């Protein structure tokens, strides 16, 4: 909706909204239906082909935005991108760039101050979620997950802290 300026799946009811989703994503397969809700595997939907995302959005929509939306709006829950994977998506790279400013020239508000709990969810993403310029230099284990700084074991296992330094 932020990209279009209007609801992507407008509907007056649950059924109406489902029709709108099918118009864009196409008819879900029996396997997709089973993964969404095993109680509805025998439900018959009209066979509709997926509408290309490039036709859903305006021509000037960044390809990274379209790719992110397509990964978020997926029938199969296990195939959807996770929230942290979405935050690490290339669409948001500009927000991780230290030279990015608001339209009025001011610095961005703190966007990269993830909690230790958040960083522990998918530690392999931490180096993308918190780029080098946003890390706390006094805590070398903050993003790498090295709970014993000074050893060489600080890969990406179990992050211990996040920074709150401005970007």
SS3 149: strand
**DSSP track, 48-116:** -PPPPHHHHS-TTS-HHHHHHHHHHS-SSGGGSPPHHHHHTSGGGHHHH-TT-B-TTSPBPPP-----H
Which pLDDT score, from 0 to 100, does residue 130 have? Answer: 95
Which pLDDT score, from 0 to 100, does residue 139 have? Answer: 52
Name the strand (E) or helix (H) holding 18. helix 14-25
Which pLDDT score, from 0 to 100, does residue 142 have? Answer: 52
Tell the residue number behind the tokens 């966007």, with chain if given: 111
Which pLDDT score, from 0 to 100, does residue 52 have? Answer: 92
Burial 70-100 (b: 16+ CB within 10 A, else e): bbebebeeeeebeebbebbbebbeeebeeee
Which pLDDT score, from 0 to 100, does residue 2 have? Answer: 83
Which pLDDT score, from 0 to 100, does residue 162 have? Answer: 38
Which pLDDT score, from 0 to 100, does residue 93 have? Answer: 97
Query: What distances in angstroms separate CA 140 from CA 15, 30, 58, 94, 152, one per listed residue?
Result: 52, 49, 43, 24, 11
Which pLDDT score, from 0 to 100, does residue 124 have? Answer: 97
For the whole prediction, is pTM greater than 0.85? no
Spell out the per-residue pLDDT of the chain, length 167, in tens. Answer: 888 888 888 889 988 888 899 999 999 998 998 899 888 777 788 899 999 999 999 999 999 999 999 999 999 999 999 999 999 999 999 999 999 999 999 999 999 999 999 999 999 999 999 999 998 754 545 554 443 333 333 333 333 333 333 43
Which pLDDT score, from 0 to 100, does residue 143 have? Answer: 54
């Amino acid at each position: 909706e932020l990209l279009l300026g209007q609801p992507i799946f407008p509907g007056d009811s649950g059924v109406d909204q489902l029709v709108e989703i099918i118009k864009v994503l196409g008819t879900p397969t029996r396997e997709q239906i089973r993964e969404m809700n095993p109680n509805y595997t025998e439900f018959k939907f009209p066979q509709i082909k997926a509408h290309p995302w490039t036709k859903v959005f305006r021509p000037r929509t960044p390809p990274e935005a379209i790719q992110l939306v397509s990964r978020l709006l997926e029938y199969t829950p296990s195939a959807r991108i996770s929230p942290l994977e979405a935050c690490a998506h290339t669409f948001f790279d500009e927000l991780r760039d230290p030279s990015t400013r608001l339209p009025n020239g001011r610095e961005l508000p703190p966007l990269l101050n993830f909690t230790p709990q958040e960083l522990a969810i998918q530690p392999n993403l931490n180096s993308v979620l918190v780029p080098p310029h946003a890390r706390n230099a006094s805590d070398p284990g903050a993003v790498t997950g090295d709970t014993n700084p000074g050893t060489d074991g600080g890969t990406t296992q179990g992050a211990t802290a996040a920074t709150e330094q401005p970007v």
